[in-house]
Structure 1
Amino acid sequence: MSKRILITGGTGFIGSKLVPHWLSYGHRITVLTRDPARGARRLGNEINFVKDFSEVTDKIDWVVNLAGEGIADKRWSESRKAELRASRVTLTESLVRWAKSSGQQFELVLSGSAVGYYGSVSGSTPSFNESSAPGTGFSASLCIDWEQAADALQEISERVVWLRTGIVLGQHGGMLKRMWLPFSLGLGGVIGSGDQVISWIHRDDYIRALDFITEHSLSGAVNMTAPYPATNREFTRALGNALHRPTLFPMPAFAAGMVFGEMSELLLQGQKVLPTALTTGGFSFQYPNLSQALEVVAAEW
């Protein structure tokens, strides 16, 4: 059955893949974007683009709240932290106000979050599932506040799901876009100890998991990660192999700290996050293994 769907972040790395996918199902899609003209050029004229929630006058069945400035795009100055918070928490609060004031009643809300919810650790233990306690640090507090903002939508929604997203792998975007050039030139290497864990998911599996959630009764937190997280050392080796390049240029921890400041926690620490809700629910990953996922991305780049 065709659904009326409102998507924030619809022109981003995940959204730009999700929108045409759901259009092919016959859904009617509205995308909130700062630049509707650019959105139309990128995604086509079948979509209703709006700059403000107040422009949405239709009854909406599903909300997909993916908007957010790239957390690793710039150093975490205080002003940058404010931008990250505004693009996630403040925007979600605006979504809640609009939805309640306009009398919306949603069937489903898929709201963004990240594996940073669990905090960051240096090694490969412990592992985290959806019932694990939140961590500490900026990434964790940002995710906690983001989820709490969306929690208010439970009053007017049949289901609310928090998408605790890992590193999403796909061509021409995400973390790989920043890594591709140095690794393709043979200049990549292990960061810090190399023992920190990267919880990742191929973008195609992410889209398939969203379909799965819409078709099943999952609610609450869902870890959007592949079943086999990898250490930074394993990730480095797998990416080098996918590109047929050596990985002989490590970045010591002190250098990462000097270059990236507080943001270096994203590089030097990680989380071993398991997709328990998805696997228990019966979801099957097309790309469960990192080497296979990276080889597919490399072939399509």
Structure 2
Amino acid sequence: MKIAITGGTGFVGRELTKLLVKNGHEVFILSRTDNKTSMDAKYIKWLTDDANPEKDLDEIDAIVNLAGESINNGRWTENQKQKIFNSRLQSTNEVLRIIQSMHLKPKVLVNASAIGIYPASNEKTYTEKFTEIGSDFLAKTVHEWEQTAATAEQLGIRVAYGRFGIILGKKEGALPLMALPYKMFVGGTVGSGQQWVSWVHVKDVARALLFAIENDIHGAFNVVAPNAKVMKDFGKTLGIVLKRPHYLPVPALALKIALGDKSQLVLEGQHVIPETLLEKGFTFQYPNLLNALTDIYK
């Protein structure tokens, strides 16, 4: 297949590109940089005044939209929040414009999303059937993002949006910050320790995105491992893998002072189940946290 990726040079995008190439697919990465071609993919300029990406995307089978400012970048000031929101809507609207202008349209758009759309809870368990939307900044951003992507259905395109959990990788995402206290021998329970961490190995994220392209998935699908952990147990497992103690609590107030609204990423959580992926027959390579972290730090 011919598959176009926005955000293809990012954390998930690089892993997805590697998987697609390994499986014999032709990859086109939409980028702000000048056109270039690597052994893995062809780069196509977009989101600049002189860009005309649609002319280079003939007979594309699928588009994966991963573009957007990382929620892990910097403190969540009002300006940063606006940047997070605007970057997602701008890129998604440009994807829609590209699709509209194409004579032969792709069969599917797989759009990134996040489990942050669900309300924070220590008691509830969420599957894709749950329709209540959280009231915080992240939930509202994700909801608007999904609604925008869904308009591609009016063009006859199948749309699926992968609601990512906490994506685990050695050098990017949330894990390096979570692991840092342990590496300094000061790791311990964050906040109450009872908040849920619905995590997923980055390799399984890439595999789930390809699975959504190849299978008849419509609408939301949760991209999380089937075995979520509460923060206390997540930290203990991380300590075991890193061979470091888990003993020094991190008070919620200290994190709120240090991170502001961004502290909700670690102080609040959701217990999310990947029901759609499991029902469709997807098999996780790393369903258990100990195995996932052992692979990452091997």
TM range, smaller chain: over 0.9
Partner secondary structure for residue 106 of structure 1: coil
Match of 1:50?
44
* Alignment: residue pair count: 291
Deviation for aligned residue 1:104: 4.8
Match of 1:250?
249
Partner secondary structure for residue 247 of structure 2: coil
Amino acid at match of 1:200: W
Q: Does 1:199 align with 2:198?
A: yes
Specify which of 13, 16, 21 is matched with residue 14 of structure 2. Answer: 16
Q: Does 178-187 or 167-176 show the bigger shift?
A: 178-187
Match of 1:119?
119
Rounded to whole Å, the distance in 1 between the matches of 2:236 and 2:70 is 25
**8 Å Cα contact 1:108/1:157 also seen in 2:** no
Partner secondary structure for residue 297 of structure 2: helix
1:38-77 paired onto structure 2 within 5 Å: 44-52=38-46, 54-57=52-55, 58-59=57-58, 60-77=60-77
Rounded to whole Å, the distance in 2 between the matches of 1:104 and 1:190 is 53
1:88-103 paired onto structure 2 within 5 Å: 88-103=88-103
Rounded to whole Å, the distance in 1 between the matches of 2:156 and 2:165 is 25
Match of 2:79?
79
Match of 1:261?
260
Deviation for aligned residue 1:45: 4.3
**8 Å Cα contact 2:183/2:244 also seen in 1:** yes
Rounded to whole Å, the distance in 2 between the matches of 1:206 and 1:152 is 24
Deviation for aligned residue 1:181: 3.0
The sequence identity of aligned pairs, in percent, is 36
Rounded to whole Å, the distance in 2 between the matches of 1:74 and 1:199 is 22
Deviation for aligned residue 1:210: 2.2
TM-score by length of 2: 0.92
Q: Does 286-295 or 46-55 show the bigger shift?
A: 46-55
Q: Does 15-24 or 27-36 show the bigger shift?
A: 27-36
Deviation for aligned residue 1:156: 2.3
Rounded to whole Å, the distance in 1 between the matches of 2:17 and 2:113 is 19
1:218-257 paired onto structure 2 within 5 Å: 218-257=217-256
Partner secondary structure for residue 63 of structure 2: strand
Specify which of 33, 48, 51 is matched with residue 35 of structure 1. Answer: 33
Taking a change above 3 Å as real, the CA distance of residues 281 and 77 of structure 1, as seen in their structure-2 partners, is same
Q: Does 66-75 or 273-282 show the bigger shift?
A: 66-75
Match of 2:272?
273
Taking a change above 3 Å as real, the CA distance of residues 115 and 36 of structure 1, as seen in their structure-2 partners, is farther
**8 Å Cα contact 2:54/2:101 also seen in 1:** no
1:178-189 paired onto structure 2 within 5 Å: 178-189=177-188
Q: Does 26-35 or 223-232 show the bigger shift?
A: 26-35
Rounded to whole Å, the distance in 2 between the matches of 1:187 and 1:36 is 45
Q: Which runs of 5+ in 2 are unaligned?
A: none
Match of 1:6?
4
Deviation for aligned residue 1:294: 0.9
Taking a change above 3 Å as real, the CA distance of residues 56 and 46 of structure 1, as seen in their structure-2 partners, is farther
**8 Å Cα contact 1:168/1:203 also seen in 2:** yes
Rounded to whole Å, the distance in 2 between the matches of 1:25 and 1:106 is 19
